[in-house]
């Protein structure tokens, strides 16, 4: 696996999991956490956050990292 993909996974996966948990806890006013975690929307939301985290956030973070290293 290339260094870029390792970096994107290292940045994107924790962000996606963190956002899923935070958004679920904000929704606990309507439904309990376990009820939300058993719904299909929870898994759809998690997949979307993970994809955005790895591909968009991870890639943009990688590009800024390479630009910083090039300037040095």
pLDDT at 29 over 80: no
Cα–Cα distance measured from residue 49 to residue 31, given in angstroms and rounded to the nearest whole number? 21
Cα–Cα distance measured from residue 64 to residue 42, given in angstroms and rounded to the nearest whole number? 31
CB 61 within 8 A of CB 23: no
CB 58 within 8 A of CB 13: no
In a domain, 54, yes or no: yes
In a domain, 47, yes or no: yes
Cα–Cα distance measured from residue 25 to residue 2, given in angstroms and rounded to the nearest whole number? 35
pLDDT of residue 69: 92
pLDDT band of residue 34 (cuts 50, 70, 90) is confident
| H helix and E strand count, the chain | 4, 0
In a domain, 72, yes or no: no
In a domain, 56, yes or no: yes
Q: What's the number of domains the chain is made of? A: 1
Range of the domain at 61: 3-67
Per-residue pLDDT, averaged over 44-54, amounts to: 95
In a domain, 44, yes or no: yes
């Amino acid at each position: 696996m290339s260094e870029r993909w390792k970096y994107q996974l290292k940045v994107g996966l924790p962000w996606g999991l963190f956002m899923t948990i935070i958004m679920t806890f904000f929704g606990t006013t309507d439904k309990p956490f376990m009820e939300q975690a058993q719904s299909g929307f929870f898994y759809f939301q998690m997949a979307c956050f993970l994809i955005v985290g790895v591909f968009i956030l991870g890639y943009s973070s990688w590009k800024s990292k390479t630009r910083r290293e090039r300037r040095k």
